[in-house]
Amino acid sequence: MEELPDIRIGTAEREDALRRLSDNFAAGRLSVAEFDERSAIVAAAMTRGELDKVFNDLPPEPLAAADVPAKREHGFLAEWPERIAAVVPIVALILFFVTGSWLWFLAVPLVGTLVFGGRHHRRDRGEGRA
């Protein structure tokens, strides 16, 4: 049975619609102005038909596997570049006091360049966001 467009919706349906809008915005399918406009329509929607109009020109759920960003690996080794970058200044400081040479501090930018250089490193704060 197909869902009737005149059926009233609740908070759960609005939140799901806002999540879908956010996913499409994150995928680059909507501009900021379009996202704001459609979010206002979703927030004010009273029936399922009003929500359907917001998604007429967007791909249906679920998104294709190619559109879903890969989840980051979790665990100790998943963040090894950050761990190395945190340890190098401490090691450089210890070596400075042991040897008396300030040249050990040059390892800090060198390791940072070797570990993070050539890529834009941005941490995901939310699952599925790139």
pLDDT in tens, 12-30: 999 999 999 989 888 889 8
Query: Which pLDDT value is given to residue 67?
Result: 52
Same domain? For 16 and 53 the reply is: yes
pLDDT for res 76: 58
Same domain assignment for residues 16 and 41: yes
Q: Is 30 part of a structural domain of the chain? A: yes
Q: Answer yes or no: do 63 and 34 share one domain.
A: yes
Query: Residue 9 and residue 15: Cα distance in Å, rounded?
Result: 11
Amino acid identity, position 83 = R
1 & 64 share domain? yes
Residues contacting 121, CB < 8 A, separation 6+: 81
Whether residue 66 has pLDDT greater than 70: no
Residues 58 and 86 in one domain: no
In a domain, 9, yes or no: yes
pTM greater than 0.75? no
Range of the domain at 100: 77-116
Per the domain annotation, does 64 fall within a domain?
Answer: yes
- Give yes or no for residue 37 having a pLDDT over 70: yes
Report pLDDT for 112: 82
Q: Provide the pLDDT for residue 46.
A: 92
Which pLDDT value is given to residue 99?
93
The yes-or-no verdict on residue 49 having pLDDT over 50 is: yes
Shared-domain flag, residues 91 and 36 = no
The answer to whether residues 10 and 38 belong to one domain is: yes
Domain membership of residue 24 (yes or no) is yes
Do 58 and 90 reside in the same domain of the chain?
Answer: no
In a shared domain, residues 34 and 15: yes
Cβ-based neighbours of 86, under 8 Å, separated by 6 or more: none
Assess contact for 17 and 54: CB atoms under 8 A.
yes
Number of domains in the chain: 2
Confidence of residue 51 (pLDDT cuts 50, 70, 90): confident
Q: State how far the Cα of 126 lies from the Cα of 130, in Å rounded to an integer.
A: 8
